[in-house]
């Protein structure tokens, strides 16, 4: 836990807040009643993370490190919960390997340093996993119920996950009920399906359904907003169709995180992680309930997102962050089986141990490279640089246009109006006036753009996320017809254009007869 916490807290303020993080900070500054209305109208996420961040920033401020430290804390607390669940299912040695994997996995370190809800989602899902496993592994007298705190822990953790991310509101109940319900039902006819004592406890099914109903009841106040947001996403969403490359990218993130785009090491990491997980599944082939629980938690979330993406792409790796936990546990089971020589095919134990050492060393090297890739090479959107570019030459009252209205949020974070009063406008829509994250520029919006720039002597265009918001380049084309571009600066994926009105042509020389 100390190692994981240290990695998650390291260099928290070194990277600029990007657009989504700036929205988190801005939303968390709203009073709580207004926050609910804002999110229900324009965001695609529930309010729990923002409400907790609201209280956190009231205590620690809204700087980069302060805003991100809440996520770092949540992600760190998920490690002992995951270790506790793994210890009950697989024993302390395997649990240590699984917990270490979570602690150093570059993917988890990255999202522990995001001022977004993914670390909170991971913590809530780890809590639900721990409570579920603790109940299933409870070895007290069969007539005695598991401690009430475990049932309450499951209800609170599951509902917290549902209040943290809309995808988890559907996927976590599906995965949990599939992972627990199938072995419970199958075990009634085939006792071999139930090796976990909790499943055989009288009344378990009834109490499990009651816990699920309570979690749903706690989430119910958000149900109307969830349906509205789902309808908005169904009409239009920025996520691209995943395809085979998107699925590979998910597992590459789970395995090696932000490793530079080298095909070889990334593929090796994915192959090793999946091979060890497959070996772990084979090792638990006689323990159907344990295996089914982990497979359901690992496979249901990505499969459902892939299925929904056939209609409207929603496949988004950060929303699946908690599906990595069962994969890491299965991989730890497989690695330990390799270390002990318990393999499907005969292999001398010394050779098996050498193979385990090679696999472990390779993964450790890839994790180190992935961490280096994140801390030293991975850049978030450098909005601090974009804001500084404008601040260096802008005059009070200059017009600044944002083709992606939400990009005004990180710009304002680094260059607030009190520092330099500028006339800031989103194109084709103002910030927070649409129910879509980033409305697309169209020919119909050009007259409004012309009206905005009429009579201006200096105009700035902060141009980002163009593949979605202005794929045809309509905004710079329209500005080029009226102004002369005098500066073009690039800061990562952000372009900053400065325009002046063309200098008046000198009067023609008088012609004397």
**Predicted confidence band at 508 (pLDDT cuts at 50, 70, 90)?**
very low
List, for residues 374-425, the tens digit of each pLDDT value.
Answer: 999 888 999 999 999 999 999 999 999 999 888 999 999 999 999 999 999 9
pLDDT at 504 over 50: no
Residues contacting 498, CB < 8 A, separation 6+: 393, 458, 459, 460, 485, 486, 487, 488
> Which of 71-75, 125-129, 426-430 is predicted least confidently?
426-430
Specify the 3-state DSSP secondary structure of 45. coil
**Which residue, among 483, 393, 403, has the nearest Cα to 445 in the 3D structure?**
403
pLDDT at 510 over 50: no
**Residue 303 vs residue 202, higher pLDDT:** 303
CA gap 161, 158 in Å, rounded: 5
CA gap 440, 472 in Å, rounded: 10
Mean of pLDDT over the chain: 91
What is residue 375's predicted lDDT score, i.e. its pLDDT?
93
List, for residues 189-201, the tens digit of each pLDDT value.
Answer: 888 788 899 898 8
What is residue 262's predicted lDDT score, i.e. its pLDDT?
58
pTM of the model: 0.94
Neighbouring CB atoms inside 10 A of 61's CB total 10
Specify the 3-state DSSP secondary structure of 321. helix
The full DSSP string for 123-192 is HHHHHHHHHHHHHHT--S-TTSPPPHHHHHHHHHHHHHHHHH-HHHHHHHHHHHHHHHHHHHHHHTT-GG
* Average pLDDT over every residue of 295-302: 97
CA gap 326, 107 in Å, rounded: 15
* Average pLDDT over every residue of 440-453: 93
Specify the 3-state DSSP secondary structure of 89. helix
**Residue 198 vs residue 112, higher pLDDT:** 112
Dihedral, 253, 257, 260, 262 alpha carbons, nearest 10 = -50
**Predicted confidence band at 232 (pLDDT cuts at 50, 70, 90)?**
confident
pLDDT at 344 over 90: no
Contact assessment for residue 409 and residue 22, using Cβ atoms and an 8 Å cutoff: yes
* Average pLDDT over every residue of 483-491: 94
């Amino acid at each position: 836990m100390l190692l994981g916490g240290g990695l998650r807290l390291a260099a928290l303020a070194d990277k600029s807040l990007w657009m989504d993080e700036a929205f988190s900070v801005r939303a968390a500054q709203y009073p709580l009643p207004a926050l609910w209305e804002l999110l229900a109208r324009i965001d695609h996420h529930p309010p729990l993370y923002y409400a907790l961040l609201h209280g956190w920033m009231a205590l620690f401020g809204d700087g980069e490190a302060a805003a991100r430290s809440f996520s770092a804390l949540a992600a760190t607390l998920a490690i002992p919960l995951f270790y506790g669940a793994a210890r009950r299912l697989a024993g302390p040695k395997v649990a240590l390997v699984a917990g270490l994997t979570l602690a150093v996995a570059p993917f988890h370190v990255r999202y522990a340093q995001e001022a977004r809800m993914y670390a909170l989602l991971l913590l809530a899902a780890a809590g639900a996993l721990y409570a579920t496993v603790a109940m299933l592994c409870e070895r007290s007298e069969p007539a005695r119920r598991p401690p009430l705190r475990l049932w309450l822990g499951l209800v609170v953790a599951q509902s917290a996950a549902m209040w943290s991310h809309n995808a988890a509101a559907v996927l976590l109940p599906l995965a949990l009920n599939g992972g627990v319900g199938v072995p419970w039902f199958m075990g009634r006819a085939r006792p071999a399906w139930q090796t976990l004592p909790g499943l055989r406890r009288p009344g378990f099914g009834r109490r499990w359904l009651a816990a699920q109903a309570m979690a749903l009841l706690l989430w119910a106040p958000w149900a109307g907003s969830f349906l509205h947001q789902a309808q908005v996403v169904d009409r239009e969403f920025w996520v691209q169709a995943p395809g085979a490359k998107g699925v590979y990218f998910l597992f590459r993130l789970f395995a090696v995180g932000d490793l530079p785009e080298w095909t070889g090491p990334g593929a090796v990491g994915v192959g090793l992680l999946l091979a060890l997980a497959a070996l772990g599944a084979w090792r638990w082939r006689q323990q159907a309930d344990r295996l089914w629980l982990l497979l359901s938690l690992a496979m249901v979330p990505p499969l459902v997102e892939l299925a929904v993406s056939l209609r409207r792409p929603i496949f988004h790796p950060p929303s699946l962050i908690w599906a990595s936990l069962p994969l890491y546990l299965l991989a730890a089971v497989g690695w330990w089986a390799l270390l002990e020589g318990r393999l499907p095919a005969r292999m001398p134990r010394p050779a098996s141990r050498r193979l385990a050492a090679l696999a472990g060393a390779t993964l450790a090297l890839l994790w180190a490279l992935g961490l280096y890739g994140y801390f030293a090479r991975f850049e978030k959107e450098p909005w601090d640089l974009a804001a500084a570019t404008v601040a260096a030459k802008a005059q009070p009252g200059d017009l600044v246009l944002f083709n992606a209205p939400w990009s005004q949020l990180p710009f304002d974070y680094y260059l607030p109006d009190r520092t330099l009063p500028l006339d800031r406008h989103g194109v084709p829509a103002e910030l927070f006036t649409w129910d879509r994250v980033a409305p697309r520029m169209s020919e119909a919006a050009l007259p409004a753009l012309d009206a905005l720039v009429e009579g201006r002597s200096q105009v700035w265009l902060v141009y980002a996320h163009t593949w979605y918001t202005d794929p045809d380049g309509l905004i710079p084309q329209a500005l080029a017809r009226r102004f002369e571009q005098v500066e073009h600066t690039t800061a990562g994926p952000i372009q900053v254009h400065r325009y002046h009105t063309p200098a008046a042509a000198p009067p023609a020389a008088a012609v004397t007869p």
